[in-house]
Amino acid sequence: MWNWFNDHSFEPNKDSTLAVREFGIKSDYPKLTAGTFPADEFDCWEFAGISLATLEGIGVYRAATEELQSYLLITAVLEEDSREVIHFNQAKVECKIHGRSRAAFVCQHLNLEHPKGFEEAFETYKGMGLSEDDDFQAWCDECEKVRIRNNGWNEYAEEFARIKLVCEYCYFELKRFNIA
């Protein structure tokens, strides 16, 4: 599966792999344009080499498990104490279901059993870029009523909401389920 076809990949990462897809269209190479297809290890190394050349990478890393082989294109080396690395590590949360991803915050009432409505601090979509000061924030319709009655978030409204930490993927699952 190509990164640009994967719903669990961040949008900025997908953008660069679309250049490989464009190369496949121009070169009439269907395996570079299909989202998923059967492939063996030889094919994967070939695609990694094409990606390396097309995207001007500096190397390829293969991460293999029993069920999955991932080929990761390395495009830059960052110093361990660089601002980008520090920010990347601080902005992630470990989810038991989805692994490591960006943090999100939701009220205690949002769940995947009974739709409760979905109010957001701002309009969001999967994979969107966020500024350093932003994060995904949502609450249910009842929390919104309490927030409005209290003229915004205050001690009472926050106690009613009991905001909890979730991962970005859980956030968008909750959003999809809870939107009327």
DSSP assignment letter at 151 = T
Q: Note the helical H segments in 134-180.
A: 141-149, 155-161, 168-178
Kindly report, residue by residue over 128-141, the tens digit of the pLDDT: 888 777 889 999 99
Confidence of residue 75 (pLDDT cuts 50, 70, 90): confident
> Taking a C-beta distance cutoff of 8 angstroms, is the pair 178, 170 a contact?
no
Residues with Cβ within 8 Å of residue 159, at least 6 apart in sequence? none
For the entire predicted model, the pTM comes to 0.55
Average pLDDT (148-156) is: 94
List the single range of 15-19, 20-24, 57-61, 87-91 with lowest mean pLDDT: 87-91
Upper half-sphere CA count for residue 135 (Cβ side, 13 Å): 18
pLDDT at 114 over 60: yes
List the single range of 30-39, 61-70, 110-119, 137-146 with lowest mean pLDDT: 61-70
Burial class (CB within 10 angstroms; exposed 0-12, middle 13-18, buried 19+) of 81: exposed
pLDDT number for residue 13? 66
